[in-house]
Structure 1
């Protein structure tokens, strides 16, 4: 046992340990969703999928605070860093409280729009929102400071607590499953605060950045918020719209399809978490950032291709193993949905890379094509197949424009370097 521990300490890098941890967390979250799908069946799983989608939406909103914290945890030091963290905790908590209140106040309207069995599940979820925002800032500090062990523990605490509590309550309590899922999510937000950096947390410390740094933080926050909004639209609008336009049974089938097809995106997220602070640090040191981008694009490309081919060759087997025979009717769409997600995951790497370098055109492009996806689904939703097809169209167009921007920017940079050398 001691030899294993020694090997882990000496041979495995922190980045590799973090990736293993993320795989564990994503695996746990996947088990959580898969078991819910099997236990609840398509109709009840449709309600569960709405709460899970709300959780994903919340994670993208809170990710704005996490990425801003991560970036400026690299750039700011000493008293400036301490003051900045205090201020962003305050802003994050205020935002979380406002969003939580909004969800609670409009819980009845949300129930009617998404055709769920209960409005109380939205109320419980709303009470947990402020905790999630505090958790995201805490993670941003760990991410920026490259404290990957602590960052890993926060994700594991959230995942494990949600997994164990939800299924324990489902087993012991005979109440509406949507309420139990909401309670499990709420509790996981609290457990996700472990470990918490209390030395950085204060709501009463006055702090004012100088004009230049304030402008830098403000600009990055706005563009990151805009980009995370595009992530919400592209990743979750289809599930929400399908729940609105289709009956619960079909919505549950689509939710299972989306869960399997998004494997590649969740794996890509692992690389994004490492990409941003690495690129910011390389830029700070005046080093070339292009190799790290190309490395991550290659990783995601290979993973996406492998998943799409597997879904094309073995759709029935995958559906049966993961969800059961009740969901087999969507098997022919599996590789198509995985293709749309894989294309988006590759586009996403480019967008986050340029976001790290304070270049915002790719972010705007993502926003445009995210809105295009919504428009296409609203206009073309006669069948689930049609919904998937229009998403493929939107994501292919997004990747084409992202690659066009990359090659244009890269060739322009090379010309500038050549002229400088001459």
Structure 2
């Protein structure tokens, strides 16, 4: 009885609730991909993997708006905050429409480049892009204000609707076409908008932001946009390049490998979501921020070690359970891909930490090594093994450089304090 009363007295914090929610969302997204992989088979799953990769690319682009909104939701208050949010909504919607039109217009060319069975899936996907950008700004306001309950609901709504609607069409109507995947993604964007504060969108003239605030927003926006571009390159270029250079069967096998190996990155992302507002708030209050970084680096390092060890010891069992016998050829590469992703996840935490502090060098470093990864895969892709090895080389170098920069910054800060 005493133990029960102790448990009741310990309330779950909003941060803990959000972490649980993100784990559930990642689990649901994994289930979505795993079922698609089993139902469609390697060749058809390669088409689905292209759409899923497009979704990831879109999420990184829209994340620029989300992070900008999150940061300045911490810094701005009152009318300044309202004007800022209204302006970001308008700009994000315009950018979303432009990106959506480009995808729809060049759907046939995208089909050719990525060797997909249909161009219709790109047309349907493009129609949903503006909704995704609005959804990201909405999430940014919740993230910045630490309204983690509402933020959790938007992620849960997007994941559950995509999972249930897509699988219902495939399993009930036995339609295994790529446009079904695109339709499920489109509908999930609408569900992901809720809860949505329509009062924050205003097309009337709003209060003009101060020149210093506008300059600060533009600088952070450009910095974040560049970094998200590096994320797109590092996190998605391998799947798209493999789809281009290899046959559909091999590309489907590689897509399953990437999906399993990237579990480290997806788990690490929830720590990034908590890191940014925490660091910005501590900086605003004039407090030290390194302890927050150390905490999340420790979490990710421990999780990465467990996942890599599991991939070393039980690669065939993991692939068999998750995707089935058809994908078993990827077992020897599983732990190697997990190592590459783990190094990327750790590098990512350092980069986002400095992004929160408006420091540019780690972002430039990530851009350089993102391009290096692409170059290495373009020149060395004789086999899927070689593609993975090139990523290990690039990500190992990226992590070493990020750690070296952090060490130099610590030394520099100590010297400044002594002077």
TM (norm. structure 1) is: 0.97
Partner of 1:371: 371
Partner of 2:16: 16
- Following TM superposition, by how much is the alpha carbon of 1:8 offset from its aligned partner in structure 2, in angstroms? 7.3
Partner of 1:132: 132
CA distance in 1: counterparts of 2:120 and 2:415, whole angstroms: 60
Partner of 1:289: 289
Partner of 1:46: 46
Partner of 2:396: 396
- Following TM superposition, by how much is the alpha carbon of 1:177 offset from its aligned partner in structure 2, in angstroms? 2.2
Structure 1 runs of 4+ off > 4 angstroms? 6-10
- Following TM superposition, by how much is the alpha carbon of 1:176 offset from its aligned partner in structure 2, in angstroms? 4.5
* Residue 147 (structure 2) pairs with residue 112 (structure 1): no
CA distance in 2: counterparts of 1:15 and 1:57, whole angstroms: 26
Partner of 1:29: 29
CA distance in 1: counterparts of 2:87 and 2:9, whole angstroms: 36
Partner of 1:172: 172
Partner of 1:361: 361
Partner of 2:186: 186
Alignment of 1:11-410 (within 5 A): 11-410=11-410
CA distance in 2: counterparts of 1:158 and 1:20, whole angstroms: 16
Task: Tell me the number of residue pairs that the alignment of Structure 1 and Structure 2 aligns.
Answer: 417
CA distance in 1: counterparts of 2:10 and 2:121, whole angstroms: 47
- What is the Cα-based RMSD across aligned positions, in Å? 1.5
Superimposed CA distance per residue, residues 118-162 of structure 1 (whole angstroms, 9 cap, x where no aligned partner): 000000000000000000000000000000000000000000000
- Asked whether the equivalents of residues 265 and 341 of structure 1 are also in contact (C-alpha less than 8 Å), the reply is yes
Q: Which runs of 5+ in 2 are unaligned?
A: none
CA distance in 2: counterparts of 1:205 and 1:39, whole angstroms: 51
- Asked whether the equivalents of residues 87 and 207 of structure 1 are also in contact (C-alpha less than 8 Å), the reply is no
- Following TM superposition, by how much is the alpha carbon of 1:203 offset from its aligned partner in structure 2, in angstroms? 2.5
Superimposed CA distance per residue, residues 54-99 of structure 1 (whole angstroms, 9 cap, x where no aligned partner): 0000000000000000000000110000000000000000000000
- Following TM superposition, by how much is the alpha carbon of 1:173 offset from its aligned partner in structure 2, in angstroms? 2.6
CA distance in 1: counterparts of 2:311 and 2:15, whole angstroms: 29
CA distance in 2: counterparts of 1:174 and 1:322, whole angstroms: 22
- Asked whether the equivalents of residues 23 and 267 of structure 1 are also in contact (C-alpha less than 8 Å), the reply is yes
- Following TM superposition, by how much is the alpha carbon of 1:415 offset from its aligned partner in structure 2, in angstroms? 1.3
- Following TM superposition, by how much is the alpha carbon of 1:14 offset from its aligned partner in structure 2, in angstroms? 0.8
- Asked whether the equivalents of residues 89 and 203 of structure 1 are also in contact (C-alpha less than 8 Å), the reply is no
Superimposed CA distance per residue, residues 11-31 of structure 1 (whole angstroms, 9 cap, x where no aligned partner): 211100100000000000000
Give the SS at the match of 2:205: coil
- Following TM superposition, by how much is the alpha carbon of 1:211 offset from its aligned partner in structure 2, in angstroms? 1.1
Q: CA 1:8–1:387 in 2, change beyond 3 Å: closer, same or farther?
A: farther
CA distance in 1: counterparts of 2:140 and 2:201, whole angstroms: 13
